Amino acid sequence: MQSAKSQAELHAVLKNLLRDSMRLHAEGAPGSRLGQADGYVDGFVRALVEAGLSDHASILAVIRDTRREFAGPATRAVDSDSSTLAA
């Protein structure tokens, strides 16, 4: 019987899925392929959260770090304005 993967290993899988999705978006891949890649990311994130293997804060940190690796640092901070947020 195989042992369960650690949270670090699962986050590494998520990083690879995110990199693939970001690469496809940057390359202008067909919509069907983009949808498939994004679906893999969404499904994996949902599985991690629903199984209690990771929390939202950890997943957001993985996404932030992967985006930074792929596209560089953010150019500025964005403050949310409650008057422009949708209800």
> Tens digit of pLDDT for each residue in 23-71?
999 988 888 898 999 999 999 999 999 999 999 999 999 999 999 998 8
pLDDT above 60 for 77: yes
Quick check: is 53 in a domain?
yes
The pLDDT of residue 84 is 57
Residue 58 lies in a domain: yes
Number of folded domains that form the chain: 1
The pLDDT score that the predictor gives to residue 51 is 92
**What count of other Cβ atoms lies within 10 Å of the Cβ of residue 62?**
18
Domain holding 38, by residue range, is 7-71
Let me know if residue 57 belongs to a domain: yes
Q: What per-residue confidence (pLDDT) applies to 1?
A: 40
DSSP summary character for residue 3 = P
Average pLDDT over residues 4-15: 90
In terms of Cβ atoms closer than 10 Å to its own Cβ (0-12, 13-18, 19+), residue 76 is exposed
What average pLDDT does range 9-28 have in this prediction? 93
